[in-house]
Structure 1
Amino acid sequence: MNFPVQQAQGPDRIGQSTAVEQSRAVAEVQAAIYVARQFPRDVGRSRASMQAACGSLALAEKAFYEFPRAGGKVTGSTIHLAKTLAQSWGNIQYGVSEMRRDDEYRQSEMQAWAWDVEANTRHVLTFIVPHAKFARGKVEALTDLRDIYENNANSGARRLREAIFAVIPDFFIDEAEGLCRETIAKGDGKPLPERIDGAIKVFQQLGVNADRLEQKLGRPRAQWNGADIAQLLITHKSIQRREIAVDEAFPQAHITGSEIKKQAGGKNTPPNDAPWPSEPTN
């Protein structure tokens, strides 16, 4: 005999705290739109703010990332530059949040968004972050709560960067990236030889000698310029942020047998028309 099963019904009324929160959220959105329309952005002032920020070496050093992929490398702008451009452009709100964590399936559902309040343009990214990382050629599960938090934060920062750049004009981003590269190339005002010596010293602390730096740049240190120092600085920052390993950034050179003979100067190599000397006899 089958008995009817009654479905659990939720409350048919809204609690006072829920109603207050809903009203607050609606009022906050309305206030943001009203303020944005009352004080629209001035593109000239926004560009001036961006140019001043990108002229700072403190920002320029953190503006780019580099990591290996498929035998090559991927470079781009960091979340630090994205947030700075959002502030300079003005009337933009953004954020990232963990919507749900599923410990059984070892994953988190997250959302990153950016909203141009003045233009009413919103970019939202909802994504799943596995509680795992790829290390030593295999996928390793994350169990420590701090590791899970840092993994979610890193994934959220990358999506947030994408969302912010989606609501900012390309010309604004391109100009900022160019200015940051110029700032890195100029450095802190020290003469170029001092900057070269400084770059060699910081990489020596990572176990990378000058020969490997020359191999990466493709020319001896006497021919390095400001752009070369900028490239090395981006690589150094990426190593510090664990985006790339030292051996991946500076692979060891492979020496062939012919190169070894060439370096030896052919001391033990007889002429082509001469036979090898016979073994000595007692």
Structure 2
Amino acid sequence: MIEWLSALPPTIQALMGTLFTWGVTALGAGLVFFFKSINKTVLNGMLGFAAGVMIAASFWSLLAPAIEMAEGLGQTAWITAAVGFLAGGAFLWLVDITLPHLHMGLEKDKAEGIKTSWQRSILLVLAITLHNIPEGLAVGVAFGAVAFDLPSASLTGAVALAIGIGLQNFPEGAAVSIPLRREGFSRTKAFLYGQASGIVEPIAGVIGAFAVVSMQPVLPYALAFAAGAMIYVVVEELIPEAQHNEGGTATNVATIGCMIGFTIMMILDVALG
């Protein structure tokens, strides 16, 4: 499979990788056809798992290669990594305070971003869509980096990242569709909303791959940018939601989920990358 994939242009590789991650989001959203509600403890574990995957991917698949590539291009590696990382966080912060969205478990009057009259369901979907942007960008940049034949950028590593992002997209799809079903949506409509939250990943992936293929010097910055954006999402959204108004066992499950997610992503990246 890897040999066949290597013959394709980086943008097509990125498109296929992010279509996979979107497809896994749809699979997760499809759980709404079997369940009308989801246990809070289970949801905490899912969100914790997603956070763990993103933390591990941010370092092994993005920041570490960014530093190596910056050194190879004659850049001051720590400056490149720091600038890209902080720029990624700043970008997500600007989107976060601008794009109307609502985190799970909150009332509509707690929506963030520009005030709007949009329905609660739209705001919930936009909250998940918000952090799918850096995920798609990360996969796209990883595939784009392979075009430069650098030691720290491999096709298997990019595939490992896509698999890791896909794994954590499964609970995210369910985390959108099942709460919508509980709020009175039909199963079909809840599914469509849930899978729609991942549609930005192929778009961001192709943009990321095209950008780095067109401008090699920006590649280390792009990798660090994607890492910063992902860490912002983890700290601002995933971990707080996993532990919102919960304690004891539910919080422990979120922490254990995070540890498991981190370990699985680390294994994928080290073993395949």
Which structure has the greater CA radius of gyration? 1
* Structure with greater proportional strand content: 1
* Structure with greater proportional helix content: 2
TM range (shorter): under 0.3
- TM-score by length of structure 2 reads 0.22
- TM-score by length of structure 1 reads 0.21
Higher relative contact order (CA 8 A, sep 6+): 2
